[in-house]
Structure formats: C-alpha cells, structure tokens
Amino acid sequence: MFNFSELKKRRRQLMAAIDKDVVIILISAPESLRNGDVHYPYRQDSDFYYLTAFPESNAVALLLPDSKDGKFILFSRPYDVIESIWNGQSIGQENAKKIYGADEAYAIDQLEARLPDFLTTKVRCYYLGSQNQVLIKRLNEVLGRASQLACQEGLVEITQAVHELRLRKSPYELDCLRKAARISAQAHIKAMQACRPGRYEYQIEAELLYEFYQNGSRAVAYPNIVASGSNACILHYTDNSALLKSGDLLLIDAGCEYQSYASDITRSFPVNGRFSPEQKIIYEIVLKAQQALIAAIKPGVLWDSLQARCVRIITEGLLDLGLLKGEPESLIENKSYKKFYMHGCSHWLGLDVHDVGCYKLNKKWRPLEANMVFTVEPGIYIAAQTEGVDEKWWNIGVRIEDDVCVMKDGCEVLSQDAPKKISDIESLMNSS
C-alpha cells in the first residue's frame, strides 16, 4: 500500500520551494486508444502520480502553497452507477479526500466553474507538462477568462523542480525499485533456464511475462527486447519473433514495473548454453567494463566520468583483439569505438525507465549523490558485414545491464540476483 504521508511530504517540499501567492496545476495522463474502441491499459503520468498517487484519468490537481502545509485540491470523475457497471467503481470525491488526502475534492465537470475561485489571489500559475490535450484546452479556456483578475504573469513551467525531487529516492521508493529488480532478475533466470535451440524468441518472452505477473508486477517497464543472433545487434529490437539457433547469443533487455517503479536489466547468453571462444572474449570485455563502473560508483563521482571509463575499457579491449587499430587516445578522441559501442553506459531509473533529472547542473556534469538510482549498461555489438571485421566476430551482440543505487560509501546493485559471470550462466543453463 502506498505511503500517503510521503505524498504529503513531497507536496510540501515542492510548495516550500516556490512563492506563496501561486497555484500549481497538475494534469493526469490521457487514455490512449489502441484500435477501434479498445484502449491500452491506463498508466498515470509519472509526475502526477509522484505527487498524488491518484490512478484515474480525467483528473486535475491543484497545489496551493499559501498555508503551512499547503493545500491539495483534486478534480476527478464522480461516482456513476452506470459507469460502475461497465468499468468498475470510480474513486469519487469522498475517497479522494479519505484515501488520497485531498483537502477538497470536486467532480471534474465542475472544473470551469470552481477553478477561478482558486486563482483570484494568485499572481502566477505553475504547471507540469502534460500530453492531455483535452484537459489542457479546458484549463487554457478558464485561465484565459480569469487572466483579467488573476495570474497576471501567466503560466510558468515547473517540471524541472519536480524532476529534481524525483531524482533522489526515498526509502519507500528504494523498496519498490528493489522489488521490481528482484522480480525481473528472477524472470531473467527463468528465461535462461527455458532457452534452447528450436524455441522462438516470443516463447522466451512469455517466460518473462509469466514471472512478472506471477510475482506481483502488473506491467512491463518498457517493451521487452528478446534478440537472438543478428537481432542482438539491433539496440531496440522488439519484434521477438525469430527462431533460436544453436551457436547464437540471446540478448534479453527486460524489466517489470512494481507499484509503477521500473527495473531495467539486460543479460546476454548462448542459446545452447555454452559460449563460443569469440563470444566469451567479447562478453568478458563488456563484463570487465561493467564491473569497473560499478566499483567506481560513490557520492561525488561525476556523471560523465562513468562513460569515459567505460569507453576506455571497451576501446582497449577491442584494440587488443585488432577490431580497432591505432593509439587508444586517438581512437577515443575520434569516437572510433562507436562502430561497436554507440550508446551511453547509464541513465536514471525510477517511475520512468529513462527517468527524469538533469545530468548537468549549470552546464557542468553533476556529481552523484546518495539515493540516486540508475543503470550501468556497457555493450559491444558486431553486426554481420561490418567492414574490416573477420566473420568469426559477426552477429555477436552483448550488453550487460544492472540497476544500482548510490550509497554513502559505494553502491547497491539492486539487480544482483541475475547471473552474469560466464561460469554461473553456463552452470544454470546446463543444470535445467
């Protein structure tokens, strides 16, 4: 169950950081049409969820920082008997106050009538960016009519302030992220055990989804990547339809959500349970890079230093194999490694899989702080027909990705349950 006292604390933190004579407007995510009259499963806007935990669409929240603890006003769908028969009971206004802590709650169809009352003494309206164009249009119409009397300075975007709050995880958030990582790590183990030549990528994906749902997750954090052979060299491959062949590697990038918090884990392993000599060599370079990055993580380390360290290890490894030729410094300066390693080694993780928060402060790379959570994911990808590369290396795609939390004297690997040493992977796959 969500810790609603924490929600109140988050709202207080945001309101304490701004002037008193303003209103903050939060807008829920829109529903998304899949086809015909069928919608995708609803997922709340992450900023809206972070400050309210309110799960329904067609909702607007107001934060008024003009008292000690501020005020939380919520407009949402009213209880409707017919609607409840078809789609289940809506939360309604009484439960918005009782369960979600709203100081005042109104039906969403009262938005135009009541919103001006909350604006009369305000000089500025802050808002969080939203994709809900229907609600934005309604709000703009109200604000347009009210602008003669209030909010003379107009709308001011406040997303960055919220994203700075989201960047540092609370104990509750860390528990959710640990749980998501544990579920996903177990799913990766099951995928390794189920993998064998003659099966299809989507059958391995089915093992992942089963473990996610069986262990309390109700959604994936992003589309699963189950990529064998040449598909492993496609960074965002999601077709997941190819036949698994002996001698190929299988790269799985998959993570679930738990209580809306994401995990993001990648493992690469041989379809037949045994790494070939070439696969093993490439894998060990990637693993060496990842282990070095994890060992370097602690408060005060600059964000860009991780990528620099990663690039150097991968460049030196490829140079030793003759896949790159030249001097290390020149190869790094010229970004020659991008022929085989073309992405960053990390991104923030939280309510979004590519979570929010700036990587720079005042145009300088930011130092890591305790309770920041992010991925560590070096990789090497050698596609077939790569110019100047012996075909024995073709179609080897390796990425190793873990989720980590910065601690006061290092980091915690949240996804440590998923095997990544070659001996552990081969032992697991050949004992199942």
Q: Please, is 199 exposed, middle or buried when counting C-beta atoms within 10 Å of its C-beta (0-12, 13-18, 19+)?
A: middle
CATH code of residue 297: 3.90.230.10
Verify that 205 and 132 share a domain, yes or no. no
Element spanning 290, H or E: helix 277-296
Verify that 154 and 194 share a domain, yes or no. no
Phi, psi of 219 (to 5 degrees): -160, 155
Verify that 234 and 356 share a domain, yes or no. yes
CATH code of residue 9: 3.40.350.10
Report how far residue 375's alpha carbon sits from residue 371's, in angstroms, rounded to the nearest whole number: 13
Nearest to 210 by CA among 188, 231, 228: 188
Q: Is the pLDDT of residue 148 over 60?
A: no
Mean pLDDT score, 3-16: 91
Verify that 135 and 244 share a domain, yes or no. no
Verify that 261 and 116 share a domain, yes or no. no
β-bridge partners, 126: 24, 156
Report how far residue 271's alpha carbon sits from residue 400's, in angstroms, rounded to the nearest whole number: 16
Q: Quick one: pLDDT at residue 156?
A: 80
Percent of the residues in the chain that have a pLDDT greater than 90, as a whole number: 83
Q: Quick one: pLDDT at residue 264?
A: 99
**Rg value, the chain, Cα:** 25
The helix, strand and coil proportions of the chain, stated in percent and rounded to the nearest 5, come to 40, 20, 40
Overall number of domains in the chain: 2
Q: Is the pLDDT of residue 2 over 80?
A: no
Verify that 72 and 178 share a domain, yes or no. no
Q: Is the pLDDT of residue 67 over 80?
A: no
Cβ proximity of 267 and 252 under 8 Å: yes
Q: Is the pLDDT of residue 17 over 80?
A: yes
Percent of the residues in the chain that have a pLDDT greater than 70, as a whole number: 97
Q: Where in the sequence is the domain holding 182, given as residue range(s)?
A: 168-431
Arithmetic mean of pLDDT over the chain: 94
Q: Quick one: pLDDT at residue 122?
A: 78
Could you give the residue numbers annotated as active site?
37, 236, 253, 264, 343, 347, 354, 377, 381, 399, 401
